[in-house]
Structure 1
Amino acid sequence: MMAVKQIACAAVALWLVAGGARAQEGFPFGTEMTLEALPQPGSKRIPNIEIGDNGEVMLELWCKGGKGQFSVAGNTVIFVPGQIQDRSCPPAKAQADDDLVAALGSVETWKRQGDVLMLVGPKPLRFRVNGN
């Protein structure tokens, strides 16, 4: 009888762990993430996004910054950029920022593997959850 209880407890624990893992594989609302990319020459800065609980986004790009909004339904995602601040950026950084915003705006689907969010579109983007 004791072995049955131990097996049942182990099964419940495994079910809880597996359920938690699946929950973590959802779209990363309420998360700050960094683009998997190299910094621009002369800078250590790498773009990051902070995704709010309702999909609102704060962007910090190579030079510019701004807001946007993610809308998610299943594995479909739409990014709508908001106001982007031009911070007197050098032309190369300004172009890289504009290209990144355009790439975000063209994503169609998303996948998540652990701490990595993959935004799939004409130019795939990979973001990694920032550790504390």
Structure 2
Amino acid sequence: MVSVKSVVPTSVLLLAFAITLVPAQADSSFPFGMEMQLDAAPLPGSKRIPDLDIGDSGATILELWCKSGKGQFSVAGNTVVFVAGPMQDRACPADRAQADDELIAALSAATTWRRDGGVVSFIGPKILRFQINSD
């Protein structure tokens, strides 16, 4: 016969273990349906920081330092492919337009991704870190 005292601690431990696994699994998924912001400071003379709004199917709206447009993320496991669509070029200083072009090129060159809680990294020749917006 099993006593109640020996069952309760075991079940409590199993429940605590299961609860710790759920957030880790949820935090490792690609951020479809989420908005995130580049982990960078604004450029001099600007308050804007690049932002990606990734839809449930990977369709993405990009709001960069100067330019805006659309793109598409395709994901298989930890492999990622980003294809930029046409960008709307606003009247901006040349340095911001160049920074946008470099950011798009770095996203397009990324071959893998990793998520660590609220931070998503796109990894290629350059590593880009984005903070998932919690609002």
The alignment's TM-score, normalised by the length of structure 2, stands at 0.91
The aligned amino acid for 2:130 is F
Distance in 2, Cα, partners of 1:14 & 1:54: 32
Superposition RMSD in Å: 1.4
SS at match of 1:27: coil
How many Å separate the matches in 2 of 1:28 and 1:19?
16
Question: What is the match of residue 130 of structure 2?
Answer: 127
Give the Cα separation in 2 of the matches to 1:19 and 1:39. Answer: 35
| Alignment partner, residue 64 of structure 1 | 67
Give the equivalent residue in structure 1 for 2:44: 41
Identity %: 54
> Is the 2:81–2:108 contact (alpha carbons within 8 Å) kept by the matching residues of 1?
yes
Q: Secondary structure at the match of 2:87?
A: strand
Which of structures 1 and 2 has the bigger CA Rg? 2
User: Where does structure 2 lack aligned partners over 5 or more consecutive residues?
Assistant: none
Structure 1: gaps of 5 or more residues: none
Match of 1:96 among 95, 99, 118: 99
Q: State how many pairs are aligned.
A: 132
Q: How far apart are the structure 2 equivalents of 1:17 and 1:50?
A: 29
Structure 1 segments, 4+ long, off by >2 Å, are none
**Paired letter, 1:52:** G
SS at match of 1:105: helix
Give TM-score scaled by structure 1 length.
Answer: 0.92
